[in-house]
Chain A
Amino acid sequence: SQQGEEDPQALSIQEGENATMNCSYKTSINNLQWYRQNSGRGLVHLILIRSNEREKHSGRLRVTLDTSKKSSSLLITASRAADTASYFCATVPTTYGNNRLAFGKGNQVVVIP
């Protein structure tokens, strides 16, 4: 079953604006990861946040994790047209063996030049 679930959003923003997307999950996790997928391609890892971390930055990405609310957010600052993609959160539930990832539904982001 899918553990990570984003609020179903399709974001359409202007280049330069910030894009924020959310993710919620249901069980205890070891970590939460965000991935990006360009249309018809594989996924690319963006950032990982561990269950004992609250916020993490990587370049223009900022991810937060609230384990009490079982939720996470991904912020992309100063968006670019090349950021147009689908973004998925994925969790590693503590109950899963061999570190299987459980993916959420995904957010489609369109950045208009």
Chain B
Amino acid sequence: GAVVSQHPSRVICKSGTSVKIECRSLDFQATTMFWYRQFPKQSLMLMATSNEGSKATYEQGVEKDKFLINHASLTLSTLTVTSAHPEDSSFYICSARPPWDNTEAFFGQGTRLTVV
């Protein structure tokens, strides 16, 4: 099956700093990747759709300037949390689908962000 790798798995940063999270498709090219946010014991909330070579599509209520998404290659999408605050602390997960199967989504391992 397809493999999606996310890095780092955990990060602690100070308020006001920026944090970059990487999402890589290891054995397939992904023109589209998805970024989710998950609060403890809650469901996944879609934040944005990352499109290779073009601007990301953000869901309603998600600040574009706060959560910068770059999808510069067919195997890498990055999410940068800018000027992080404690309320940005959360679990961030990316997913992608391989071109041979447009139904099942493959997820990264997730990134636990803690802003202190």
Contact = CB atoms under 8 A, between A and B. Distances in A.
A33 B97 CA distance: 14
B110 A99 contact: no
Contacts of B45: 2, 103
Contacts, number: 60
Given A41-B109, A42-B108, A101-B34, 6 more contacts: A33-B103, A33-B104, A40-B91, A106-B42, A106-B43, A108-B41
A40 B10 CA distance: 10
Interface residues on A, range: 20 to 34
A88 B43 contact: yes
Interface in B1-43: 4, 6, 32, 34, 36, 41-43
B102 interface: yes
A45 interface: yes
| Overall SS of chain A's interface | strand
21 contacts: A2-B45, A33-B103, A35-B107, A42-B4, A42-B95, A42-B109, A42-B110, A43-B93, A43-B107, A45-B104, A48-B104, A88-B44, A92-B103, A98-B32, A99-B102, A100-B34, A101-B95, A101-B105, A103-B36, A105-B42, A108-B41
Nearest to B97: A99
| Overall SS of chain B's interface | strand
Interface in A83-113: 88, 90, 92, 98-106, 108
Interface residues of B, number: 26
A48 B102 CA distance: 12
A2 B103 contact: no
A101 to B, nearest CB: 6
Interface in A45-84: 45, 48
Contacts of A45: 104-106
B112 A105 contact: no
B63 to A, nearest CB: 18
A103 B109 contact: no
